Structure 1
Amino acid sequence: MARKDLLKGLMEAPAAKVDGAPLPRFERGAIGAVSKSINDLRSRAIIDVSPELIDNAGLKDRLDADAEGLADLIASIRDYGQQVPVLLRQNPHQEGRYEVVYGRRRVAALKALNQPVKALLRQLNDRELIVAQGQENSARKDLSFIEKAGFAAQMVRLGFDRKVICDALSIDKTVISRMLTVTDAVPEAVILAIGSAPSAGRDRWLALAKLAPRRNQAQLVAAAVGPSSDSRFEAVLASLQDPRPANRATAQALEMENGRIIGVARRSSQKTVIELRGPEGQEFGDWLLFELESAYRNWLESKG
């Protein structure tokens, strides 16, 4: 076989499969090394793919749609182009289509712009896809604690062991345990009603998880009211906390000997507030402030 035909065969011939995993056609010697190099180049090559051919895959990571953020991304790609490729795999259920491993928002933005998606193509099974997605998520700073916790909980439901989850999210078993404490105690419907709550970190979610059994799911969902996910989190947490005892205050009009009322005094178990009103009250207030130290000294002397 001529060298030209040999290289053509290496580039175009379908790979054999062992246990479902594609292998290079030639595995040994110089030809095997060439074949491996070509496959390595293929895995690093950036290809253009129509966004209409790309389907979602893996686990859900975001709780909020973030239409504003997507609009910003669309504007950025329109002005500067796609700077970072997405990662795809071939759709195992439909020939000629692809599944996104990570980069869903970029795919959505390019679909809105009707532009091809620059992508890296990898041969990944379902397990490898989810681990790759988790590793990408662990490096992103815009995912909140509860979004990462939800991703970990989904991996648990799919049967992944703790070590794989730790490797996927680049966190230790202690953090995973705390994440799962939250997702076990707080019903999923409540988490979805709250949203990503980016300002509510691990400690506040743990506090909510500790209090969550005080209410049923319907009550917690009903409490998740507010214009933002952070405000909805605060509303749910407030609904679980014990109400502060009422601070009953009494009011007394400050009536002088001449019958004039110059203000009001409000007393409670914690404090006394004197409010002076009107020109005479203001004038008296100025004098009282000036004489306050002397009055305090006289009071101390009267106590003996």
Structure 2
Amino acid sequence: MSRKNIFAAVGQSKFAAANDREVKVADRPLADATERLNASASPVGSLGRVLNDARQKSLRAEEMERSVRDACAVIELNPQDIEPSFARDRMTGYSPEDLDDSFLASIRSNGQQVPVLVRPHPTQAGRYETAYGHRRIAAARILGRTVRAVVKSMSDDELVVAQGQENVERNGLSFIEKCRFAYVLESRSFTRETISGALSVHKTILSIMVSLIERLPSDVIDAIGPAPSTGRRAWSQLADRLDSTVVLDRVRNVIANPEKFAAAKSSDERFRLLLAVATEKVSAPRKQTWSRADGRSFASLAVSEAKIILSVDRHKHPEIAEVILRRLSALQAELENPENDPMKES
């Protein structure tokens, strides 16, 4: 899909964040990749494919920026008048607390080189809604500056396509962030065609992405974070393991342990820690049996991490089974009595 066709949905004129060639690297992470790659010898093999892909993405990102500059006027807006996109894509970057020091320092020193893209808010007069540029808007709030923006009338479909494509071209979203973005869009009844266009993924992969979010507990994803270096296979492996409630409880216990979980400094490290916890082998259940005086076994007990199983053959030992049932009923009544609360301090 060409860049022109992607943004034709927003209007016949091309658009995306615009700026001059000398935009700083901190604000445009792919800006100088083209020069470095063109200067190098032609690579071969898998490394060549990776570098060529980076070169193409850099060129497309520059085309996106030029197209907005050429097609639309850039105006100054108060960041307090700008709302985030209704479809959250990033797990971080929406608030001032999410910004890293280097990004903020670049905006402070060099100014906002690349305009953001917004639309007039569909329900609030005088306000705007962001298509992309959330981090730049957050930085402007911190620095007390206006935001350089392109204002474009867009439908919901056009906004999410622009939002998704801009991030895809800049490798701005991790795999799990893309999955969440796809899930949010589907939950808002966007068509698979629109979502596929926004993320530049095939419908088969899109189905896998949405399914992962349905399977993975949201609190576990939030605890891990975007994990930018973690891909589909690893997330699928974690989802497979977390289908077990025993494993999920074990993972949540680690998350709740600040001393152990905080030792993993990065998001990818947190993922690897929890995946290791989820895949570690569980010891086999401890088993115990009881026998009559004549040596016949009448009961067995299996104790595992998840449960305790007491087994009695009621056909062979009906009287023992009845005694156990009566004792369990009495124990339940005793535990339900507040006066007999075993956790109550004496």
Cα distance, 1:194 vs. partner? Answer: 1.2
- Match in the other structure for 1:179: 209
Verify: 1:56 aligned to 2:87, yes or no: no
The number of aligned residues is: 209
CA-to-aligned-CA distance 1:90-122 (integer Å, 9 cap, x gap): 112221111111101001111211111111111
- Match in the other structure for 2:148: 118
The change in CA–CA distance for 1:70 and 1:141 in structure 2 (over 3 A counts) is: same
- Partner of 2:131, secondary structure, is strand
243, 263, 267: which is aligned to 1:213? 243
CA-to-aligned-CA distance 1:156-211 (integer Å, 9 cap, x gap): 11112222111111111222122123212211121111111122111111111122
The change in CA–CA distance for 1:181 and 1:155 in structure 2 (over 3 A counts) is: same
Letter in 2 for 1:113: L
Contact 1:63 1:195 in 2 (8 A): yes
Letter in 2 for 1:240: A
Letter in 2 for 1:206: S
2: CA distance between counterparts of 1:53 and 1:93?
A: 13
Letter in 2 for 1:134: G
CA RMSD in angstroms, aligned pairs only: 2.8
2: CA distance between counterparts of 1:166 and 1:105?
A: 24
Letter in 1 for 2:91: L
Tell me which of the two structures has the higher relative contact order, counting C-alpha pairs closer than 8 angstroms and 6 or more residues apart: 2
- Match in the other structure for 2:72: 44
Contact 1:91 1:98 in 2 (8 A): yes
The change in CA–CA distance for 1:240 and 1:154 in structure 2 (over 3 A counts) is: same
Cα distance, 1:62 vs. partner? Answer: 1.8
124, 127, 133: which is aligned to 1:97? 127
Contact 2:99 2:139 in 1 (8 A): no
The change in CA–CA distance for 1:86 and 1:201 in structure 2 (over 3 A counts) is: same
Contact 1:87 1:120 in 2 (8 A): yes
Cα distance, 1:126 vs. partner? Answer: 2.5
The change in CA–CA distance for 1:142 and 1:89 in structure 2 (over 3 A counts) is: closer
- Partner of 1:184, secondary structure, is helix
- Partner of 1:227, secondary structure, is coil
- Partner of 1:141, secondary structure, is coil
2: CA distance between counterparts of 1:107 and 1:166?
A: 27
Segments of structure 2 that go 5 or more residues without pairing to the other structure are 1-67, 256-260, 284-346
- Match in the other structure for 1:233: 271
Letter in 2 for 1:193: A
Cα distance, 1:69 vs. partner? Answer: 4.5
Letter in 2 for 1:106: R
The change in CA–CA distance for 1:68 and 1:188 in structure 2 (over 3 A counts) is: closer
Structure exhibiting the larger radius of gyration computed from Cα positions: 1
Contact 1:215 1:240 in 2 (8 A): no
182, 194, 197: which is aligned to 1:164? 194
The change in CA–CA distance for 1:219 and 1:127 in structure 2 (over 3 A counts) is: farther
Contact 1:178 1:206 in 2 (8 A): no
Letter in 2 for 1:231: E
The change in CA–CA distance for 1:169 and 1:41 in structure 2 (over 3 A counts) is: closer
1: CA distance between counterparts of 2:208 and 2:164?
A: 17
CA-to-aligned-CA distance 1:54-109 (integer Å, 9 cap, x gap): 11122112224595743222211121111110001111222111111110100111
1: CA distance between counterparts of 2:250 and 2:217?
A: 11
The change in CA–CA distance for 1:236 and 1:58 in structure 2 (over 3 A counts) is: same
- Partner of 1:181, secondary structure, is helix
Cα distance, 1:218 vs. partner? Answer: 4.9
CA-to-aligned-CA distance 1:267-287 (integer Å, 9 cap, x gap): xxxxxxxxxxxxxxxxxxxxx
Cα distance, 1:230 vs. partner? Answer: 1.6
Query: Given the two structures, how large is their TM-score scaled by the length of structure 1?
Result: 0.62
1: CA distance between counterparts of 2:143 and 2:167?
A: 25
Cα distance, 1:42 vs. partner? Answer: 11
- Match in the other structure for 1:268: none
Contact 2:229 2:268 in 1 (8 A): yes
1: CA distance between counterparts of 2:142 and 2:69?
A: 30
Contact 2:157 2:194 in 1 (8 A): no
Q: Which has the higher strand share?
A: 1
> Aligned ranges for residues 257-268 of structure 1 at < 5 Å?
none
2: CA distance between counterparts of 1:43 and 1:97?
A: 22
1: CA distance between counterparts of 2:131 and 2:199?
A: 15
2: CA distance between counterparts of 1:238 and 1:171?
A: 29
Contact 2:84 2:129 in 1 (8 A): yes
1: CA distance between counterparts of 2:245 and 2:161?
A: 35
2: CA distance between counterparts of 1:222 and 1:156?
A: 31
